[in-house]
Amino acid sequence: MRGDATRQTAISRRTALGDIGLGLGGVALAGLLGGPVRAAAGANPLVSRPPHFPARAKSVILLFASGGVSHVDCFDPKPVLSAHSGQAVPEELVKGQRFAFISGRPQLLGSPFAFRRHGACGMELSDLLPHLATVADDTTLVRSVHTDNVNHTPAQLLFGTGHQLAGRPSLGAWTTYGLGAETADLPAFVLLSSGTLSGISMLHGAGFLPSVYQGVKFQAGATPIFHLSDPPGVTRADREATVRAINAVNAARLADVGDPEIATRIAQYEVAFRMQAAAPELVDFSNESRATLDRYGVEPGKPSLATNLLLARRMVERGVRFVQLRDGDWDHHGAIAANLKAKCADVDRPLAALVSDLKQRGLLDETLVIWAGEFGRTPMAQGDGRDHHKEAFTVWMAGGGLRGGLAYGATDELGYSVVEDAVHVHDLQATILHLLGLDHERLTFRHQGRDFRLTDVHGRVVHDLLA
């Protein structure tokens, strides 16, 4: 259930299913005729629902760096590591530890990049991130995050779904399940991607939740969703009449069998109909100023992470609840100095522009922006790269009710282990839900005889991060 248990009223199964089915059909048809987004609770699976308590944030933009960002090169300065670069790692540090590829006793690898203090807060950031340095006072760094698995797929699943095995709902799906949608014209949960990716379907799925809550993947370019345009010779009125008829039949079938996937189909037909008008306008940047495009580094017509970040801002402006961006090519086992520099150049400018843009528009306080990978990278060398590292890494965040200018937690002098204010991935998930006004222990769904939640049986809200 999404909240505390409510009092049960004795009604027949046939009456309940009939009322639910007719309600869904009515909502769908009313939506086509310009009806309100909000409806009676229970009538529409995407109805906008109140949070458990007053929310700090209304929407989330999650930039997921698939492969893992090197914390000791970007966020977490380690002069001792640099001073001992090339020396063998202390044996007691790695004894019994499991790495993805490193074996034996590797050498320490100091960062070749300098760190400097920025903003009134004096936050230390790498020279790889000169643009993000300009928004240091709006930034929240969590330098003490740790996770459970050293391999990509289970670590990504843990970060994105709260469990290392596939089949659980994603963070975005849990969010839309708990809060519903704020717009009828666009999906509540959208997925954008850039770079080379693998396993992409696993981090925006609905798992055992009704499939209406899964993310909708947008393509790059002028046609964000395939088959969205009407075929030649089909008018808008023709399409509306078709959707009316289909949803009326679906509503009748729902009343007979009570299958929640039919409710999903009704809602998706309605959203798709509205998106035929809304989506082309969303991806049309002609009304964005040249200065804005330059700030993000957007080249019109060219797919890029910068384009996706500007699109994310336009989405949250229009009521999209959860925007997940996945960016690939962060798995730097070799040539990390050159490869990390190139990837940071891709993200630094547009992510800083996003923060400034949201702030200028009065949206930063209500939009939680997150940049994170599934784990960090080792302080030890793997050739001229770094291996996967689960014991400690940094998550970058801004806005959404967080304390700006805060660097929270600490790792040891080598950046190997957390030594202060440890934050597990489940704690991070609990905190994100809390900022959205959702209690991670109450946001549950009954499946196969028991209640499930994003944080499984773990997680605590990190109140020190909140403004």
Residue appearing with tokens 């009456």: 15
395 and 328 both lie in a single domain: yes
29 and 105 both lie in a single domain: no
263 and 405 both lie in a single domain: no
Residue 4 pLDDT greater than 70, yes or no: no
Residue 12 pLDDT greater than 60, yes or no: no
Residue 117: inside a domain: yes
Instruction: Report how far apart, in Å, the C-alpha atoms of 203 and of each of 335, 338, 447 are.
Output: 28, 28, 19
Q: Residue 6 — very low, low, confident or very high, per pLDDT cuts 50/70/90?
A: very low
For 250, the 3-state DSSP assignment is: helix
268 and 207 both lie in a single domain: no
192 and 270 both lie in a single domain: no
Using a pLDDT cut of 90, give the percent of the chain over it. 70
Please list, in sequence order, all residues whose beta carbon lies within 8 angstroms of the beta carbon of residue 391, skipping any fewer than 6 positions away. 97, 146, 416, 417, 418
Query: Of 200-204, 254-258, 437-441, which has the strongest mean pLDDT?
Result: 437-441
Q: What is the pLDDT of residue 243?
A: 72
d(CA 308, CA 329): 16
User: Two tokens at 279?
Assistant: 């989506």
Residue 163: inside a domain: yes
216 and 245 both lie in a single domain: no
Which run of H or of E encompasses 372? strand 367-372
Residue 210: inside a domain: yes
Instruction: Read off the pLDDT of residues 308-319 as tens digits, 9 standing for 90 and up.
Output: 999 999 999 999
64 and 193 both lie in a single domain: yes
Stretch 240-261: mean pLDDT? 81
Sign (positive or negative) of CA dihedral 34, 38, 41, 42: positive
Q: What is the pLDDT of residue 227?
A: 63
84 and 191 both lie in a single domain: yes
Residue among 75, 92, 90 at smallest CA distance from 144: 75
Q: Residue 267 — very low, low, confident or very high, per pLDDT cuts 50/70/90?
A: confident
Instruction: Read off the pLDDT of residues 65-119 as tens digits, 9 standing for 90 and up.
Output: 999 999 999 999 999 999 999 999 998 888 888 899 998 889 999 999 999 999 9
Q: What is the CATH number of the domain that holds 433?
A: 3.40.720.10
351 and 248 both lie in a single domain: no
Q: Which of 45-54, 211-220, 400-409 bottoms out in mean pLDDT, i.e. has the lowest? A: 211-220
Residue 94: inside a domain: yes
Per the structure, the complete domain to which residue 26 belongs is given by 18-47+237-282
Q: What is the pLDDT of residue 265?
A: 77
* Domain total in the chain: 2
User: Two tokens at 96?
Assistant: 């019994």
Stretch 375-384: mean pLDDT? 97
* Parallel/antiparallel/unpaired status of strands 322-327 and 418-420: unpaired
Q: Residue 28 — very low, low, confident or very high, per pLDDT cuts 50/70/90?
A: very low
Residue 453 near residue 440 (C-beta atoms within 8 A): yes
Instruction: Read off the pLDDT of residues 178-225 as tens digits, 9 standing for 90 and up.
Output: 999 999 889 999 999 998 876 556 789 999 999 889 999 987 665 666
Residue 229: inside a domain: no
376 and 319 both lie in a single domain: yes
d(CA 268, CA 266): 5
Residue 231: inside a domain: no
Q: What is the pLDDT of residue 248?
A: 84
Show contacts of 122-129: CB within 8 Å, 24+ apart: 123/405, 123/407, 124/77, 124/407, 125/74, 125/75, 126/73, 126/74, 126/75, 126/77, 126/344, 128/73, 128/74, 128/340, 128/341, 128/344, 128/348, 129/74, 129/344, 129/348
Alpha-carbon 197 to chain mean position: 15
- pTM reported for the whole predicted model: 0.86
Residue 434 pLDDT greater than 60, yes or no: yes
As to burial, measured by CB atoms within 10 angstroms (0-12 exposed, 13-18 middle, 19+ buried), residue 386 is buried
Chain length of the chain: 467
Q: Provide Rg for the chain, Cα atoms.
A: 23
Dihedral (C-alpha) 434, 439, 443, 444: value to the nearest 10 degrees?
Answer: 130
Residue 447: inside a domain: yes
* Parallel/antiparallel/unpaired status of strands 115-118 and 123-126: antiparallel
Q: Residue 277 — very low, low, confident or very high, per pLDDT cuts 50/70/90?
A: low
263 and 310 both lie in a single domain: no
Domain boundary among 248, 282, 316: 282
300 and 395 both lie in a single domain: yes
Instruction: Read off the pLDDT of residues 13-26 as tens digits, 9 standing for 90 and up.
Output: 444 444 444 444 44
d(CA 136, CA 21): 51
Residue 400: inside a domain: yes
Residue appearing with tokens 């679906």: 250
Mean per-residue pLDDT over the chain, rounded = 87
